[in-house]
A and B are shown apart, each in its own frame.
Chain A
Amino acid sequence: MREIAEQILLWLEPFNWVLLAYFIGINTFYLALIAMAAVYIYFQLRSKQVHSLSGLFNSKLYKPISLLVPAYNEEVSILSSVEALLQLQFPDFEVVVINDGSSDQTMERLIDYFQLEPVQMPIPLVIDHAPIRRVYHSKIYPELMVIDKENGGKADSLNAGINSCNKELICAIDADSILESDVLMKMLRAITEDENTIAVGGIVRVANGCTIEDNVIKNISTPHTFLGRIQAVEYLRAFLFGRMGWDYINSLIIISGAFGVFSKLAVQQVGGYQKHSVGEDMELVARLHRHYKEKGEKYSIRFLPEPVCWTEVPEDWITLGRQRNRWHRGLADTIFRHWKMIGNPRYGLLGVVAMPFFLIFELFGPVIEVVGFIYFFLLLIMGLFEAPFVLMFFAAAVLLGMVVSVAAVLCEELTFRRYPKVRDVLVLTLYSFMENIGYRQIHSWWRFKGLLDYLKGDTGWGKMTRKGVATMSGIMTRDRGDTKQSGNATQAESPDEAAAGAKTTGATHRTSTGRWTALKAALTQFGYWAVVYTVGFLLALLTYHVLRDVFF
């Protein structure tokens, strides 16, 4: 038996090298990104006053912005969201809400509250989209336009918004996001700095745990739940390092769908958002890169760490799993659609560095991590591997994850310090450690599953359960369960699910699907603790081995 196992081990030897190469590669990339991002943020912050704008806003020649807000069954939060957007500080902007064939009262609520009046308006069909039923203008807010269209999905709604809006720049935002009031002014800085900027992304931060009044963040605090806190660290890491680092070498490939400003002309030139993609935000950015590189035109796609968009993150395992699964399918979709760019010097650093990184470390990383974890564990159990090596390798991998996460918290501390309390910084630091034991492995599994689902052809959005952003005039503190809202809304982000009547009030949902969901939640929780105990066991084993060999 042991001979067969050893034979298998011999046969699997190249896999050890794959693991080692992956480990070295990802370390190098992350450390390089950290270094680049830290320096870049430091210089950006110190020179931000150079482009502080004053005179420009007296002119009618600066670039005005259309805020595009796709809304699908958002009756709970749409009024407060739109009201908050209309209060943003920017001299010339319009808000275009696109009702994507909602089956709830979204449209009726908008009509009543904003005194909408139907208008006939010529809309050039530059980008294809589902038919528009009617266009409305508000009698009380001239800058508000609502487009009522047939259901076609988020990308389709955004395309309809792009065709209908009247400004040079477009800003795509999620209806449940909260923008800081000066966010558009800050975004315009990127365009003032560089003429050729065609897209700008801002930082997305976790709103859970913050105190929100009238859709405005009043008090910033870390989330109160385990998953919320873990995601707060994840978002810091992804935005402060990932995106800043890629921006530094003009290879930014993701601008969050929750908040990004684009040149309308550039988006129209590439044909708008891709309707049949689950990662339409990333896909659009990749297409913009590709278009401009192939045409040989000067352009830049930027990320600014200062303009902040606050978003609610899922706080239950199932919804989070679905979200990460969808993100990974989105990544896979973008990578496979733009396969041609990978390793192609024609696309500059984007083709030679960024795309291969996303292919190897982001897309296939979870495969290597999941398989590697199981592989090492089995070998160790079977006693076929040198225990110190395996354990130290494992410790190094976990430590690296910790270094990167703690570096993100450190970077936040060096620059923005948005979390005012020392307690919050300590919480974030603590969760930077905890994230790597248990959560990271589960996360890899979700992404691994996402890749498999993509290969199977799954293009659904998955059901997203959120607590809702805010009431019209009330105060809502997230996470503590004291939501002063009439009830939690389960938002079906997929039109198909909505058509099947997926809307529910969460707590009262006790169908067979509900039981299956509960079972899945329990299994995920069980999986999490299993991983935590396993990792704990391995680390204890490592400590034992090292101490034994060192001292005895």
Chain B
Amino acid sequence: MVALTLSGVPLYAIQLNLPTRFVLITALVLFVLLAVMLTASVVLRALHLRQEKWQEKLRNHYYPLIFSYIDSSITLEEFNSHIHGTHLGYQTLQEMLMEMIQDFSGHEREKLQELYETPHLYNHNAEMLAGSRRMPKIEACVYLRNVSHLTEAVLEYLYALLNSSDATQAYSAAAALMASPDPAIRAWGLYHMSCRQDISTMAILELFYLFNHQHQEQMHEEGYHLREIIKDPGTTDSHAAVLIKALPEIGYVELADFIYSLAENDDRFTGNPELMEALITTLGTFVYYEAAGLIRSNIYSPWTTVRRACAEALGYFGEQHDLEALYNLLYDDSFQVRLHAVRALLKNGEQGEYMLNNYRRNKGVYATEVSATIQFELLKTEL
């Protein structure tokens, strides 16, 4: 019947005029497409179910092996000999280990990490990284993010990817480098990303936190590299600004002198509102007293963001002339500046409150707003 129809349709089509023939062909193409898609739907679900089943099988195969290795019942070689040498086999093991590493701690975690960095998995991902296809490269980088000891060959591939025109590839390579125990290698990745316009400041912030390994003995070296990255002319202004602002969050206190020198002398930084705001905010957070004068001199800056940063920073110092400067900022045109000035004064206890009451008594232009802000801020503190 089908064969008869298929042989009959072309004969029928020949008899038709051109528009009808066109529509008939379109309808037939759509019909075939529909049939293909329906078949694909069914096939895909079947494949998915098969893969799920297979993955389940692999998981059941791996779990006892992993726990045996943790209990030292089997050696690494023995474990390796049981790894299923397919992409799915590696992928399943990788995912399982990653989940388990997050759930375990101490000795067990170390053992799991050893399995994660086992040559089989590592080599499989290194091969993917060396290949020419984009997605496997990215997947390999995601794996390498949690591998601390990278071989020279892999490092070479990652360095090459840093310069890729594809931002996603470059970022994934940089993120992979962040797992390295060597601060210089991590700094190289962070530096390359800081110079790129197509990498967001949020991504830089994420890398910054990956860059810091929370080892006290590395803080000095990390600080050195950060200093170099920040002052490098290749680093974009936005990225330099976010790195500067993030410094106090990790506690790179020894960079305070460097930050102050930039705010005082460096034309690139003093002439840019984004960078200047970052410098002043950081100096305030570091409570770097030598910078108080510089900050006070900036309260009449033409840039609102800089004045707002000044208001925030002066709150940390609390000297009489700092409070006076804050009092002056209560008359600022910008709501944000006034809001931060109120907050900063409130931070300074009785003295600050005295200034605020003074402002209200003198019926400053924004007295009502300042009263409301005070009440709101006090309530927030209470909560």
| A binding-site residues for B, Cβ under 8 Å | 20, 27, 43, 46-47, 49-51, 53-56, 58-63, 117, 119-122, 124, 137, 139, 142, 188, 191-195, 386, 388-389, 392-393, 395-396, 399-400, 402-403, 406-407, 409-410, 413-414, 417, 422, 425, 429, 546, 549-551
Contact = CB atoms under 8 A, between A and B. Distances in A.
A184 B206 CA distance: 17
A245 B229 CA distance: 39
B76 interface: no
B173 to A, nearest CB: 10
Interface in B339-383: 339, 369, 371-373, 375-376, 379-380, 383
The 10 closest A-B pairs by CB, nearest first: A55-B209, A550-B8, A195-B200, A399-B30, A396-B27, A120-B372, A389-B20, A142-B383, A56-B206, A192-B202
Contacts of A400: 30
Contact of B375 (A47, A120, A139, A188): A120
6 contacts: A43-B135, A61-B246, A122-B339, A191-B200, A392-B20, A410-B37
Contact of A413 (B9, B11, B41, B246): B41
Contact of B335 (A20, A124, A392): A124
Given A56-B209, A120-B371, A61 B242 contact: yes
Nearest to B20: A389
Contacts of B24: 388, 392
B141 interface: yes
A53 B376 contact: no
B40 interface: yes
A550 B142 contact: no
A188 B200 CA distance: 12
Interface of B: 4-5, 8-9, 11-12, 15-17, 19-20, 23-24, 26-27, 30-31, 33-34, 37-38, 40-41, 44-45, 48, 135, 138-139, 141-142, 168, 171-172, 175, 199-203, 205-210, 212, 238, 242, 245-246, 249, 335, 339, 369, 371-373, 375-376, 379-380, 383
Given A61-B245, A62-B202, A403-B37, A410 B383 contact: no
Nearest to A140: B383
Contact of A389 (B23, B37, B142, B372): B23
A137 B381 CA distance: 12
A396 B138 contact: no
Nearest to B376: A121
A59 B19 contact: no
B375 A392 contact: no
A117 B379 CA distance: 10
Contact of A59 (B16, B20, B26, B205): B205
**Which of B206, B209, B369 has the most A CB atoms < 10 Å from its CB?**
B206
A402 B31 CA distance: 9
A47 B372 CA distance: 47
Contacts, number: 157
B41 A417 contact: no
Contacts of B380: 137, 142
A122 B376 contact: yes
Given A20-B19, A46-B135, A429-B41, A396 B30 contact: yes
A122 B335 contact: yes
Given A50-B172, A393-B23, A137 B379 contact: yes
A139 B379 CA distance: 9
Contacts of A395: 27
B246 A59 contact: yes
A403 B30 contact: yes
Given A120-B375, A195-B201, A550-B9, 4 more contacts: A122-B376, A195-B202, A388-B20, A550-B11
B209 A59 contact: yes
Contacts of A58: 209, 249
A50 B141 contact: yes
A139 B383 contact: yes
Contact of B142 (A50, A121, A406, A429): A50
Contacts of A195: 199-202, 238
B45 A425 contact: yes
Nearest to A401: B30
Contacts of A188: 202
Given A392-B24, A399-B30, A549-B15, A137 B383 contact: yes
Contacts of A53: 206
Max chain B C-beta neighbours (<10 A), residue from A50, A53, A121, A549: A50
Contacts of B34: 399, 402-403, 406
B208 A55 contact: yes
B205 A119 contact: no
A56 B168 contact: no
A497 B207 CA distance: 53
A399 B27 contact: yes
B139 A46 contact: yes
A199 to B, nearest CB: 15
Contacts of A192: 200, 202-203, 206
A400 B23 CA distance: 12
Nearest to A124: B335
A396 B23 contact: yes
Contacts of A47: 135, 138, 168, 172
Contacts of B30: 396, 399-400, 402-403
Nearest to B5: A550
Nearest to B339: A122
Contacts of B135: 43, 46-47
Contacts of A409: 41
A139 B15 CA distance: 81
A189 B9 CA distance: 52
A549 B171 contact: no
Contacts of B171: 50-51
Contacts of B19: 20, 389
Contacts of A422: 45
Given A62-B202, A192-B200, A192-B202, A410 B26 contact: no
Contacts of A425: 41, 45
Contacts of A417: 48
Contacts of B9: 546, 550
A541 to B, nearest CB: 14
A193 B15 CA distance: 57
B171 to A, nearest CB: 6
A46 to B, nearest CB: 5
A546 B209 contact: no
A43 B137 CA distance: 13
Contacts of A56: 202, 205-206, 209
A505 B260 CA distance: 67
Contacts of B208: 55, 59
Nearest to A388: B20
Contacts of B141: 50
B144 to A, nearest CB: 12
A50 B379 CA distance: 41
Q: By CB atoms of chain B within 10 A, which of A43, A62, A195, A406 has the most?
A: A195
Contacts of A55: 205-210, 212
A58 B214 CA distance: 13
Contacts of A119: 375-376, 379
A142 B382 CA distance: 10
A413 B20 CA distance: 35
Contacts of B238: 195
A191 B138 contact: no
A546 B41 contact: no
A133 to B, nearest CB: 15
Contacts of A59: 205, 208-209, 246, 249
A383 B327 CA distance: 88
Contacts of B31: 399
